[in-house]
Chain A
Amino acid sequence: MKRWSRRAIVSVPYFWLGLFLLVPLLLVIKVAFAEAARAIPPFSSLTEFEDGILAIRISINSFAVLFEDTMYLQAFFNSVVIAAGATLLCLLIGYPMAYAIARAPAHQQSILLMLVLLPSWTSFLIRVYAWMTILGQNGPLNNFLISIGLISEPLEILNTNLAVYIGIVYSYLPFMVLPLYANLVKHDLRLIEAAQDLGARGLTTFTRITLPLSKNGIIAGSMLVFIPAVGEYVIPELLGGSDTLVIGKVVWQEFFNNRDWPVASALALLLVLALLAPIVWFQRNQDAVR
């Protein structure tokens, strides 16, 4: 490639990403250090000219608010617990699924994988909405459980944390299965035969050979579920109750309902900082696979 054409090719996406991603993210940092104000937009300016002198006003007020009110830390804690629990559930359900697909006859694999992935291509919003019907007081799940005599009173599932778990597992399960499948299908089956040949039984072969070899797939799948689940807004909003306090909802409320943009920005920043470790871990793992 010639130098100038290379530069041109690099600069097109670079310009776009710089303008519509880097600058906005820097603005979030800026606003987080501003103070809320009754103005349009509703925050103070960091720089001001007073008598020809440039004054810079940085406020850590919004961060102070976050640590003073335990509600915010509680929301953080809840988000991480729910995301981690849902990730574990996804792993427990998704691993055997991925395993079954990877060991299915070659011509069936692609269609089975398509069946698992198809839901993730259809509307996320609508799939979450479907659970509102199912889990409701008079919904099909309660009706079914009553009709088989397991319960006599309808269960309160919708608008609880349980519903949030169900929603997250349901929505993100395909993202767990895909990397696990990609890993498991690459395993050299002779390794399993070698283990059997050396006297290992089915379970030993699995725990000593298959499971350690799929470590990278487990990390990738878990991160693909955990990272978006921590910041999730739609699922807790629709399926959770008013007491389901998670960080995505709090950011939204601070922004739209309280119109406290600096606090919302500061919260979002903390959220990214909290996710930085798993994101970096995920990236490293991806690079190691390549």
Chain B
Amino acid sequence: MNKFSKTMLAVGLAFLYIPMLILVIYSFNESRLVTVWAGWSTKWYGELWQDKQLMAAVWRSLTVAFYSATASVFLAIFASVVMVRAGKFRGRTLFSGLITAPLVMPDVLLGLAMLLLFVSSTQAFGVPTERGLFTVWLAHTTLGLAYATVVISSRLKEMDPRIEEAAFDLGASALTVFTRITMPIIAPAIGAGWLLAFTLSLDDVVLASFVSGPGATTLPIEVFSSVRMGVSPMVNALATMILLVVSLFTMAAWYVLHKQSKRAS
């Protein structure tokens, strides 16, 4: 079992990384035909930089991801406290059902549901006046909220409640205990939750396709529509850039968390 499983781990990791590696290599292909190798070149990166439409989409996506991740963790902290600490209250079952729903429901359903909300709301109350980045932000915040709550609440659950009790015992108010004791202890989880919500938003095609309007295409929508037409060397270059940035980001986050958990233990 040991030898077999070690081999499988190596094969599995190769399976996970080789496609990405191939993508990176082909992004330096001189040829316009993606699969025909014509020598090394960085010209597609140059063209990428020149593409105003794509660059605008990158910026839009980063903005939406930033704001929705921030709103997600803000709400997720509340939701985690509710899930872990509030005990029994009326509607608890519904609450935990709603908080896990985005984790298990297909994207197409969530996107459809959100769109119906915005359409009906416009029809009944006149808001939102148009679908765009704001509606994408609302949808992504809701999605991110669910994922960030998983991360933050599991950390909160692990936390020894006696630490908080000790602070109360020493005369701290509920607010002080939360800001001075609880928050610093769950800070790594908040960071991880933010990062998760950020990457989810940056990566989402389906939800954004449903709820965004003309003039508010995010990067994934842009990529998706060009990819549907087939492979293109410029998308390869863009994909390489995204892989690079995200993996650097993730590795840094992992490193920080790893250091912290080491110090904690």
Q: What is the total of A-B residue contacts with beta carbons within 8 Å?
A: 243
A240 vs chain B, min Cβ distance (A): 12
> When the two chains form their complex, are residues A130 and B5 in contact, meaning their CB atoms are under 8 A apart?
no
Q: In this complex, what residue of B is CB-closest to A28? A: B113
Could you say which of B38-46, B52-60, B182-190, B250-258 contacts chain A? Answer: B250-258
Known: A133-B236, A237-B228. A126 touches B116 (CB 8 A): no
> CB of B108 within 8 A of chain A?
yes
B interface SS class: helix
Residues 157 to 184 of chain A near chain B (Cβ within 8 Å): 170, 173-174, 177
In Å, the complex CA distance between A5 and B174 comes to 10
Chain B 98-116, CB-CB to A under 8 Å as 1, else 0, gives 1111101111111011101
Chain B: residues with Cβ within 8 Å of the partner, total of 85
> CB of A25 within 8 A of chain B?
yes
Residues 1 to 15 of chain B near chain A (Cβ within 8 Å): 1-2, 4-9, 11-13, 15
A68 vs chain B, min Cβ distance (A): 22
> When the two chains form their complex, are residues B34 and A13 in contact, meaning their CB atoms are under 8 A apart?
no
> When the two chains form their complex, are residues A125 and B250 in contact, meaning their CB atoms are under 8 A apart?
no
Could you say which of A55-63, A145-153, A227-235 contacts chain B? Answer: A227-235
Known: A10-B86, A97-B8, A231-B108. A140 touches B22 (CB 8 A): yes
Residues 259 to 273 of chain A near chain B (Cβ within 8 Å): 261, 264-265, 268, 271-272
User: Which residues of B sit under 8 angstroms from A9, Cβ to Cβ?
Assistant: 78, 81-82, 86
> CB of A67 within 8 A of chain B?
no
Residue in B6, B19, B108 whose beta carbon sits within 8 Å of that of A248 in the complex: B108
> CB of A6 within 8 A of chain B?
yes
> When the two chains form their complex, are residues A119 and B106 in contact, meaning their CB atoms are under 8 A apart?
no
> CB of A17 within 8 A of chain B?
yes
Chain B 73-112, CB-CB to A under 8 Å as 1, else 0, gives 0011011011001100101001100111110111111101
> When the two chains form their complex, are residues A133 and B23 in contact, meaning their CB atoms are under 8 A apart?
yes
5 A-B interface contacts by CB (under 8 A): A114-B254, A121-B247, A129-B23, A173-B12, A230-B106
